[in-house]
């Protein structure tokens, strides 16, 4: 299985999600799904998939939300998960519940020839912030929607609103060099933090009735398993792990100690709940 049509402008992301990013997510998939459980709960409720509907889960990764959607649309519905990451899709295929009405496509959502007007719901949990040309990608995905179809996705608000991702990084920066600075519109987890930008992209792509709701959540990065588990979470996924990659062992050890000390202050029983903040974005097919 290989990626067929791709937009070359997404080449860096394709390399990342088939390389270190995809492997980290695949390794941590089960725990990451627990950490992000509160996001899924809010998002699926907002998307309100109904029995018999068809949905596309964009950037579905290892498939957790694809399976949730499939449960809601039932045997008369269908869910397609699309992703550029072969390792993540392989895991999704392994985990897919038998008999569920699901298929997975290894493809770039920017250019994939979706079956026109075939889908009730375009859905994503954090899978749509990585496009080099987002208005073009969303215009392409919109073609899959039925005339009365809807778009519902979650994206992160600013780094400052997301201490669950940034607190570890601040500690790491006491010991290792900063990551190359990203511009606010560069593809990446925070690319859709700006409300104005998301409205602009979706309007350009032909969506209507665009709404963005801020939702603040506590994310337990320890998944109920105490301080060591929280530390492992910070060290293996997200910006802190990227900042520590390839650094000398003594620097990594010093950063690890600083992060552990910081996390201790947030420990509540066996949980380490840290603040996360997302937009739930909804829109209708503008026709
Ligand atoms: C942060 S992960 C989220 C994965 C999954 N939705 C979840 O919540 O567990 C982002 C996902 O978007 C996928 N992705 C990035 N660019 C894409 C593109 N152009 N087409 C399809 N998927 C893409 C990545 O491969 C990755 O699986």
Average pLDDT over residues 115-125: 98
Q: Is the CB of 127 under 6 A from ligand 1?
A: yes
Considering only CA atoms, which residue is closest to atom 25 of ligand 1?
85
Cα–Cα distances in angstroms (integers) from residue 106 to residues 122, 128, 175, 187, in the given order? 17, 15, 39, 20
* Ligand 1 contact, 81 CB (< 6 A): no
Say if residues 238 and 168 touch (Cβ distance below 8 Å). Answer: yes
The per-residue pLDDT for 1 is: 58
CB 57 within 8 A of CB 105: no
Query: Parallel, antiparallel, or unpaired for β 119-125 and 54-58?
Result: parallel
CATH number at residue 35: 3.40.50.150
Whether 140 is in a domain gets the answer yes
Burial call 58-85: b when 16+ CB within 10 Å, e when fewer: bbbbbbbbbbbbbebbeeebbbbbbbbb
- Mean pLDDT check: name the lowest of 25-34, 57-66, 204-213, 273-282: 25-34
Task: Tell which one of 79, 80, 127 to mutate to probe ligand 1, the residue whose CB is within 8 A of the most ligand atoms.
Answer: 127
Q: Is residue 58 part of a domain?
A: yes
237 part of a folded domain: no
How confident is the model over 223-234, as pLDDT tens digits? 999 999 999 999
* Torsion angle in degrees (nearest 10) through CA of 261, 32, 275, 21: 80
Q: Are 266 and 272 in contact (CB under 8 A)?
A: yes
Q: Which of 28-32, 184-188, 237-241, 279-283 has the highest mean pLDDT?
A: 279-283
Give residue 19's domain range. 8-158+184-220+277-285
For residue 90, count CB atoms less than 10 angstroms from its CB and return exposed for 0-12, middle for 13-18, buried for 19 or more.
Answer: middle
Instruction: Return the pLDDT at 97.
Output: 93
User: Do the domain assignments include residue 225?
Assistant: no
Specify the pLDDT at position 21. 84
CA 255 to ligand 1 centroid distance, Å: 29
- Shortest-distance atom of ligand 1 to CA 62: 9
Tens of pLDDT, residues 187-242: 999 999 999 999 999 999 999 999 999 999 999 999 999 999 999 999 988 889 98
Residue 42 is assigned to a structural domain of this protein: yes
Residue 72 falls inside a structural domain? yes
Give 233 Cα–ligand 1 centroid separation in angstroms: 19
For position 237, what pLDDT does the model report?
Answer: 83
Q: Is residue 43 part of a domain?
A: yes
Taking CA 286 as the corner, what is the angle to CA 80 and CA 122, rounded to the nearest 5 degrees?
Answer: 15
Structural domain count of the chain: 1
Q: Stretch 239-249: mean pLDDT, rounded?
A: 93
Does 248 fall in a domain? no
Give percent of the chain with pLDDT exceeding 70: 100
pLDDT at residue 52 above 90? yes
């Amino acid at each position: 299985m290989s990626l067929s049509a791709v937009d070359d402008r997404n080449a860096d992301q394709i390399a990342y999600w088939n390389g270190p990013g995809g492997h980290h997510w695949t390794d941590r998939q089960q725990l990451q799904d627990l950490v992000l459980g509160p996001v899924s709960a809010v998002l699926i409720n907002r998307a309100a998939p109904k029995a018999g509907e068809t949905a596309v889960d964009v950037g579905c990764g290892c498939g957790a939300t694809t399976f949730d959607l499939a449960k809601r649309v039932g045997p008369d519905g269908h869910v397609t998960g699309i992703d550029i990451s072969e390792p993540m899709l392989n895991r999704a295929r392994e985990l897919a519940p038998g008999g569920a009405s699901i298929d997975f496509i290894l493809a770039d959502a920017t250019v994939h020839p979706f079956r026109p007007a075939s889908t009730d719901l375009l859905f994503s949990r954090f899978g749509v912030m990585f496009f080099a040309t987002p208005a073009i990608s969303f215009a392409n995905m919109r073609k899959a929607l039925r005339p009365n179809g809807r778009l519902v996705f979650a994206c992160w608000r600013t780094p400052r609103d997301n201490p669950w991702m940034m607190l570890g990084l601040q500690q790491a920066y006491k010991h290792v060099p900063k990551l190359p600075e990203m511009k606010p519109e560069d593809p990446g987890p925070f690319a859709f933090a700006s409300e104005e930008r998301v409205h602009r992209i979706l309007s350009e792509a032909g969506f209507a009735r665009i709404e963005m709701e801020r939702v603040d959540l506590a994310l337990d990065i320890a998944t109920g398993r105490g301080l060591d588990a929280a530390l492992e979470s910070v060290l293996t996924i997200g910006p802190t792990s990227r900042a520590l990659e390839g650094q000398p062992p003594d620097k990594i050890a010093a950063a690890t100690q600083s992060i552990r000390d910081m996390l201790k202050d947030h420990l509540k029983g066996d949980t380490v709940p840290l603040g996360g903040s997302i937009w739930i974005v909804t829109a209708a097919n503008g026709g």
